[in-house]
Amino acid sequence: MANILIVDDDPGVRATIRIVLERAGHAVVVADDGSTGLAIFEDGNFDLLILDIFMPGMDGLETMKLIHQRQPLIPILVISGHPVSWDSGTAPDFLKMATKLGAILSLQKPFGPTELLAAVSGCLAAARPSPPASQRFAG
């Protein structure tokens, strides 16, 4: 399965995501902030990054920018417990903003195991190169 890095400042969220993903057969490494996540990312070989947007210190958007500078094709799933929009007329939708900045998918906390596993599968599938046309249509 996949090697996944989770970066979230909430220990409960990290533990829950880790348990769900490990039970699904994935290898999981966790970090509690963007700076630590970036250092771990640079030392590892990850297939997917799950990244909280709002964290103290280096936030998720800054972390995502720095990771994409180092490895532009890494799929990123952004998560956030903050409301999508406090006032739909004036406040930014940070999950949508993150996907425009390069995240593959986003999830609003709280989410369930089924939603998480579906999003992880979607991100991993989006990151896989499709086979050449000659292989797709060979019969």
Q: Does domain 3-126 have CATH number 3.40.30.10?
A: no
Q: Which two tokens stand for residue 132?
A: 């050449």
pLDDT (average), residues 118-131: 87
Pick the more confident residue, 97 or 83.
97
**Is residue 83 pLDDT above 60, yes or no?**
no
Domains of the chain, by residue range, sit at 3-126
List pLDDT tens digits, range 43-71.
999 999 999 999 999 999 999 999 999 99
User: What span, in angstroms and rounded, lies between the C-alpha atoms of 30 and 9?
Assistant: 10
* 20: enclosing H helix or E strand: helix 11-23
| Average pLDDT across the chain, whole number | 88
Measured between its terminal Cα atoms, the distance across the chain in Å is: 28
Q: Name the pLDDT band for 93 (thresholds 50, 70, 90).
A: confident
List pLDDT tens digits, range 5-39.
999 999 999 999 999 999 999 999 999 999 999 99
